[in-house]
């Protein structure tokens, strides 16, 4: 899904924040999940509203 969004002219610049129940930070030793999955942000469920807001603000500033 991410690849399809990244190659589309209409959505290639749209920020993507992945919200997952899987903590990939514990399983991917070499690189951050954001880089490995080509997303702009990454949050593990359950999501605290304040952390989500901070991630969205941070992603939009970049």
Q: Alpha carbon of 27 to those of 31, 42, 49, 51: distances in Å?
A: 10, 14, 25, 22
Question: pTM to 2 decimals?
Answer: 0.73
Band of pLDDT at residue 26, cut at 50, 70 and 90:
low
For residue range 5-17, what is the model confidence (pLDDT) as tens digits?
999 999 999 999 9
Give pLDDT, residue 20.
Answer: 86
Select the more confidently predicted residue: 28 or 3.
3
pLDDT in tens, 41-54: 888 899 999 999 99
Q: How far apart are CA 4 and CA 10, in angstroms?
A: 11
Task: Please report, for the chain, the start and end positions of each structural domain, with discontinuous segments joined by +.
Answer: 15-61
Residue 25, pLDDT > 70, answer no
């Amino acid at each position: 899904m991410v690849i399809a969004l990244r190659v589309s002219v209409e959505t290639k610049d749209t920020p993507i924040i992945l919200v997952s129940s899987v903590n990939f930070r514990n399983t991917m030793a070499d690189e951050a999940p954001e880089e490995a999955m080509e997303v702009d942000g990454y949050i593990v469920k359950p999501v605290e509203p304040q952390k989500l807001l901070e991630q969205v603000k941070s992603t939009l500033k970049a």
